[in-house]
Amino acid sequence: MNTTFHPMMIFWYVFPVILLFATSFVVSALSLQKKWHIKGPDLAVPFLWLGLQQISTNTFAVSILPYFVISILFLGILLVVFQAYYYGEIAYKRYFKMFWRLVFLFTLMTYLLLVIMDIVHYL
């Protein structure tokens, strides 16, 4: 494990805030909301995965990304079952939109948890 604090980690701590502002600006500048109903968090997910990789490697000396991908796949299965039960059908457009937004929320919560764990690691 890494026992010394790296100043670059401050960037990774504020990365989600910078990323959400940047992707919201890109969405509004390119009118992606009107054309394809894309919002800033939709574009932020892959970049947050990069941050997950960096912080988890720094905190645990191992990447949690494979476990995270398995969790996302499990989330997708649960969402299919939920939509089939609740709506009686699986509408692909609704499924993928709901899935991607839930992936964003799950990624952001995991990212914040890793930041807190990394800060505690250095205390």
For the segment 15-43, what is each residue's pLDDT rounded down to a tens digit?
Answer: 999 999 999 999 999 999 998 999 999 99
Residue 94, domain extent:
8-122
Q: Please tell me the predicted confidence (pLDDT) of residue 3.
A: 58
The confidence band for 76, taking pLDDT boundaries of 50, 70 and 90, is very high
Is there a domain that residue 24 lies in?
yes
Q: Please tell me the predicted confidence (pLDDT) of residue 60.
A: 87
The confidence band for 59, taking pLDDT boundaries of 50, 70 and 90, is confident
Burial of 123 (0-12, 13-18, 19+ CB in 10 A): exposed
Whose tokens are 């993928």? That residue is: 96
The tally of domains found in the chain comes to 1
Give the count of alpha carbons within 13 A of 28, CB side only.
Answer: 5
Is there a domain that residue 39 lies in?
yes
Is there a domain that residue 2 lies in?
no
Radius of gyration of the chain (CA): 17
Is there a domain that residue 1 lies in?
no
Is there a domain that residue 53 lies in?
yes
- Of all residues in the chain, the percent with pLDDT exceeding 90 is 82
